[in-house]
């Protein structure tokens, strides 16, 4: 059986490492690869799959356009408006495992109950982060972003799940005292902001993991705050996808070992 991660670019994706390690640990004769696929190519690819395919993971820029190819969607995909996995069978089912990956990454770090959160960015990952914070108990979340249309969409998600969301400038966000801060912006965007970190009281989850630590994460840790790498989120969301595609519990320990071995081979920090 086959599976793959689709997106553009995907040549350096770590997903094949995680999924293939899971298959090996589960004694499954499956294979998982990375296939360069843009928005205009997704439909043709999905039409070409046969009964040998378990499903596909989706990364940018496919997380939103995939809705037109799904027969059904789980609740998290519907709420966030983002799909990161399609599972094949009698129908094509769509899922969002990013939310669960964020929840698991934060829970693993010791977080079990929060009330406030700050999110940098307002795109698809920010929407998943908002729902994850809600699942952890947050009722007040602040968004620091510039794209007004994305902020409006994020506010719609907040309304759907019952979170008080406000959008504000960094100086008014109270990010140093928030229970959890999640950065969903691309690498380098918050490098200047990193200089403003001082004695944070909460935990930082930075979805950027290459390079790691980011300047923001490094400043956060040096001034006394706890940090979580986006690699932890990547690991756990992949684990949920393995379970969806195989029906078996994901071997997280073996997946983590394989991930760390690959990170070391690339000269990157492990988790």
Catalytic (active-site) positions: 63
42, with CB counted inside 10 A (0-12, 13-18, 19+), is buried
What distance in Å separates the CA atoms of residue 147 and residue 252, rounded to the nearest whole number?
A: 36
241: left (phi over 0), alpha (psi -120 to 50) or beta: alpha
Report d(CA 215, CA 165) in Å as an integer: 27
Nearest to 201 by CA among 103, 127, 266, 115: 115
User: In this structure, are strands 2-7 and 31-36 parallel, antiparallel, or unpaired?
Assistant: parallel
């Amino acid at each position: 059986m086959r599976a793959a991660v689709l997106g553009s670019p995907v040549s350096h994706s770590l997903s094949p490492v995680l999924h293939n390690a899971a298959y090996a640990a589960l004694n499954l004769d499956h294979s998982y690869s990375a296939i360069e696929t843009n928005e205009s190519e997704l439909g043709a690819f999905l039409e070409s799959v046969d009964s040998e395919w378990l499903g596909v993971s989706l990364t940018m820029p496919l997380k939103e356009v995939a809705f037109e190819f799904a027969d059904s969607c789980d609740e998290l995909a519907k709420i966030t408006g983002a799909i990161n996995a399609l599972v094949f069978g009698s129908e094509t089912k769509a899922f969002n495992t990013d939310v669960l990956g964020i929840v698991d990454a934060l829970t693993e770090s010791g977080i079990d109950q929060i009330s406030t959160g700050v999110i940098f960015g307002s795109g698809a990952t920010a929407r998943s982060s908002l729902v994850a914070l809600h699942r952890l108990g947050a009722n007040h979340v602040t968004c620091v972003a510039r794209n007004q249309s994305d902020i409006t969409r994020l506010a719609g998600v907040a309304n759907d799940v019952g979170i008080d969301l406000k959008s504000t400038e960094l100086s008014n966000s109270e990010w140093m005292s928030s229970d959890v801060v999640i950065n969903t912006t691309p690498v380098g965007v918050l490098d200047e902001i990193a200089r403003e970190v001082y004695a944070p009281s909460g935990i930082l989850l930075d979805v950027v993991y290459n390079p790691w630590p980011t300047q923001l994460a490094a400043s956060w840790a040096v001034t006394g705050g706890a940090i979580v790498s986006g690699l932890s989120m990547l690991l756990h969301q992949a684990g949920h996808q393995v379970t969806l595609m195989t029906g078996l519990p994901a071997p997280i320990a073996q997946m983590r070992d394989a991930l760390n071995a690959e990170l070391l081979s690339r000269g990157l920090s492990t988790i």
